[in-house]
Structure 1
Amino acid sequence: MDEQNRLKLLTPILKQYSLKPYFVEDFGNIQKVYSNKGVFALKKITPFSGIDFIHHVQFLYQKGYNRIVPIYPTIDGRYGILDNHKLYYLMPWLSNEMKENRDGRHKQLFRELARLHTLSAKEIAIDKDEKTEHYENTVLKWQKDEEFINGFIEICEKNWYMSPFELLFCLYFNDINQALRFAKGKLEEWYEKTKEETNVRAVIIHGKVSTEHFLYDDRGYGFFINFENSKLAPPFHDLLPFLSRSLKGYPKQHEACLDWIYTYFKYFPFKEDELSLFLSYFAYPGSLIRVAQNYYLKKTRKKELKFVQQLQQEYWHMKNIEYIVMKIDESERQKKHAQEGAKE
């Protein structure tokens, strides 16, 4: 769409904010609007998303959390405009200049995420039967995964000549099995600690935490954007996807990642049961097991080399996560021993 047509399309929408656009730059779902009252960001989303997330943003502002890019109301008080099967909302435009290095940027993100979770935390009732059902279903699913990897390695070892994928899986098997057993152990720990409890701590999660959704203003302060996926949920729902993405790639001891996590824990420490569940889900090698299952079932037409590369990448990912998980688990055990020693 050329500039004139874009202006023609957006002018009636911006008029409802009492804005007269001079020029508009296209950034996909976001339009950078130069107007008579300054520079703004006009976000376009599907109407199916709705604007329920506005309530979460307003709630956080009322709690004193102002590190969210504000959403401006129209002249008549609406926070979204439905136009041509799209929903639009308006925000200030942030410069997002890099004032810190990558690690500093991540630490500020985790610090602000912890503050967001702290201010929105609340105890919500949970049905004990539902918790038990969730635990039992997860255990059953993981048992099936364990049965698969044990069965698959037997098949591999019976072959006179293993394929490259089968050979690699056999080499990785002990590490995969160890990660699976650790995750199952932590899940059981969580359940034993909480099976009689009828409340659980929930927070407003951002729902799509990313450095692309944490922008800086001219003063160097970071602000969250893109709250459309926000909801009330356990806090690790924000941490796990971000950390998992960050730990993909070649094997490496990600000390920076540990630093981000402990920056978060400094401002929003997990309870013992929350940490057990967090470590359980984090450590579980589900994506690696899916690769082996896809190879065994040959659901795709990928060639052997592609399967081998995917298995290797998922193994590296699992080992990078393992380093972080073991460091946290060891640190927490030392803290617990120190506390028990102090009581004696």
Structure 2
Amino acid sequence: MQTPNEHVSLLTDLLPRYRSVNILYQEAVNKSVLSFDTQCSITDFYRDFNDIQIFEKIILNFYLSTDKEKQGQIISNLRTEISKNLEFYSANKDFFDKVDIIKVCSSRRKPLNIEIDGQLKNTNKLWKELTQVRNSLESASWQDDKMATQRLTKDEERLEQAYKKEQEKLSVFYEQQKESDNHASKYLENVFGRIYELGYTFISLLDNYFPIEKENTPTSESITKISEPEQELQTEIEPDMIFRTDKYENLLILEQKLIPDKYLNTELHWISTHNNGKPDIKRLVTFLVALMDNKYFLPGKDPKIRSFFESRYHISIGQNFEECRREKFIDTYKIVFNEYKF
């Protein structure tokens, strides 16, 4: 059974690895080149941490067994590095997705090529000398030149032994080259997209167990003052006031999928929640971002869009729908709602 310190250790192992990967991302983009060593490091990172069940188990044990102050520091730092990675991939998606990994692996530094070329020259030189001695030996035998035959026979034996040793050296180099090629073949996959998906899952799990506290909690008086006119606004909004032609009908079709996927119930209440029971507002905002990115709405209707869906789905979205906060979901919706035909 793992101890609390081991849970901390596993998370603190992940944290510097994420930092290192982010640095490698930055260097690759700055140079517009992905080196083989960088490809190996990034692939190894993915292989070491791609088991989501293990990560969630560690997070759960960490949540149950560590003091709150230590939790806050570690989780905040980890969330920051994962978010940086997600943002970096999103901003440079074309570069990362189009990297020619086969070319990266085949163009890696191959120091053995120099040794093999040198050893081939030595081996071929001895083979040439051995061939010449054998020809001379055959000629001496035909001429019945016993002294020459004896001398050339010794030369042949000496060169055969030397040639055999050089052949063995060459075989070692070829075997090492084969091992190097086999090693490189393990890094032929582009894992940047997989790391992005993994990071998004990590963030979701962190948010489930360690939700970010809201910065400002309005008083009951301010809620009353705000909610009354907003409720008034919500009841006045009709679909044709915010939707482009035929897009509202498309929304109705999408809602029929949201219901069996446990985002909505049959009464159109937003029911998606975190593990702690709190409403998963980010999922709703991600869905709305998907609608916006696919041109469902008329321009300049943000306040009415938010109010429409707050009323329709019986939930408060609040500041989560502000443009600066929803921008980060522009790419993630394609993963979360990848089976939805927007």
Q: Give the TM-score category using the shorter length.
A: under 0.3
TM-score normalised to structure 1 length = 0.22
Between Structure 1 and Structure 2, which shows a larger proportion of helix residues? 2
Larger radius of gyration: 2
Greater strand fraction, Structure 1 or Structure 2: 1
